[in-house]
Every structure is written in C-alpha cells, then in structure tokens.
Amino acid sequence: MLELQGVAKRFGEAQAVRPLSLAIPEGGTTVLIGPSGCGKSTLLRMLIGLAPPDQGNVLFDGAPLSGQLTPARRRIGYVIQDGGLFPHLTARENICLMPEHLGWTTQAQAERVQALAALTRFPAARLDAWPAELSGGQRQRVAIMRALALDPDVLLLDEPLGALDPLIRRGLQDDLREIFRSLSKTIVLVTHDMHEAAFFGDRIVLMRDGAIVQQGDVTDLLEHPADPFVTEFIRAQRSELPL
C-alpha cells in the first residue's frame, strides 16, 4: 500500500531520518514508536507528502506519491495531536470540508456525518458546536471523523491521544481500537508510549536517531530484541504494560 524506499530527511544540521526503507502492508495497524526526536513523526509526514524526502522515494499504490499528491491525499486520512481543527468552522463544517469541496449533496453530507458520529461515539447534538466549545476528547473524535470523511484507504495518526487527560485517554483508546477493527483500513499510528503501541499495533516499528532499530509484533520485541536499546526502551515503560 505504502512504501518508503531509501528515504532520508535533514532539517538544517539535524538528520531527522537516515536513509531507510519500510513497507507498510495493506490492512492492519503499524505503530511507529521511539523516543522524541527519533524521526517517527517525520516518517509519518513523508507518507502524506508534508515532508518530502531529500532522497529516496515514497510509493503509494506502487507509484511515486509526489506525482499524485492531491488524489492520494483524498485516499489518506491524517490526524494530528491537537486535532488540527479549524476554529472558525463548526464540528460539522470541519468534517464536511472535503465532501463539500467535491460537490456532495447536503443530504449525502448529513448522512455521512451521522454515520461517522455513530462510529466515533460523538454526541450528535454537539455536531454544530465550535471546536472551542468541545472537550479535548470530543475534538479528537471530530478530527478522526474529518480524516474519515471520504472513506480513505489509509489513516495516519500522529500521537492522537498525546494531549489528553489519562481518563479521557483510556476511553478514547478503547473506542479508537474498535474503530480500527471495524474499518479494517491500513492504519499508521505514531506514539512514544509502549503501552499504546502494544494496545493498537499488529506491527511495531521501533526507531532511534532517525533509523529503524527493529520491527515486528510486541512478542518479537520482548523475546528477540535486536539491540540492547529495544529491551531498555520497553523496560523503561514496563510498569504500564498490560501484559
């Protein structure tokens, strides 16, 4: 579905991503994890063309992403940490930006919003509220609805629970996994939290200093660490692991 071939990215002096390759298989959830500054967010931004690589290729459906940016973006949903909702548009208007731009009927838009609200367990009565009137968890649900509006094949999420209180976080976490399962889309999620990675990830990609240290499921990482860093990183967060 998505493939990175020998991509690298530098921001001034800092080498954010060293030359690396990564294939993201269709369906299932891939989690990019690592300490802050390891390049996981940059990798995610490469997948939707917000951070074009200095070298190498990003392939979407087997063809270079750069040559099909606009159509590809309509098949990829993107959610960031604080939701990135437009404060001057209501929840509904945020969700319907693209459907409206593509000329959907009002009826079709309303139906889509209704279905998404049910899916994300967002109270329908709050659909016409402004982002500033919503709670953090509600804003994040709206951001997910906006990303799913066009029923994309891929959903990219950059620390979607990062800015939330622990309690709200737990509730949204469960809902989010439900959503991922019911949609059976290709999901790529960035987090720095091992608990979250284990909770969501069919496959975990552990990164450090712009390079991939190991990829595999959580058992692989625990039982066959490729590097002492893997064990160290997992152990540091172990107390929170639900294993």
Partner 1 sequence: MLMLLAWPVQSWAVTVGSKAFTEGIILGEILTGTLRDAGIDTAHRAGLGGTRIVYEALKGGEIDAYVDYTGTISAEILAGSDASTDDTMRAALREDGIGVTGSLGFENTYAIAMRVDRARALGIATLSDLRTHPGLKLVFSHEFLDRKDGWPLLRDRYALPQRDARGMEHELAYRAVGSGAIDATDVYTTDANIRAYDLAVLRDDGKVFPEYQAVILYRLDLPAGAIAALERLEGRIDLARMQAMNADVTLHGKTEQVVAAGFLRDGSRAAPDTDGLWRRLARTTAEHLTLVAISLGAAIVVAVPLGILAFRRPRLGQAVLAAAGVAQTIPSLALFVFMIPLVGIGGPPAMIALFLYSLLPIVRNTHAGLSGIPASLRESAEALGLPRATVLRRIELPLAAASIMAGIKTAAVINVGTATLGALIGAGGYGQPILAGIRLADTGLILEGAVPAALLALATQGLFELAERRLVPRGLRLPRPAPGA
Which residues would be at the binding site for partner 1 (CB under 8 A)?
45, 48, 50, 69-74, 76, 78, 80-82, 84-90, 97-98, 101, 130-136, 139, 146, 163-165, 168
Q: How far is the CB of 83 from partner 1 (least distance, A)?
A: 8
Nearer to partner 1, 88 or 181 (CB): 88
Nearer to partner 1, 125 or 132 (CB): 132
Of all helices (H) and strands (E), which one includes residue 208?
strand 203-208
By residue count, the chain amounts to 243
CB-CB contact of 36 with 192 (8 Å):
yes
Q: How far is the CB of 103 from partner 1 (least distance, A)?
A: 12
Provide the residue type at 18 as one letter: R
Nearer to partner 1, 161 or 212 (CB): 161
Q: How far is the CB of 162 from partner 1 (least distance, A)?
A: 9
Compute CA distances 149 → 15, 83, 102, 146, whole Å: 35, 15, 11, 5
Q: In what order do the strands lie in the sheet with 186-191?
A: 76-79, 154-158, 186-191, 29-33, 203-208, 211-216
Nearer to partner 1, 189 or 234 (CB): 189
Q: How far is the CB of 40 from partner 1 (least distance, A)?
A: 16
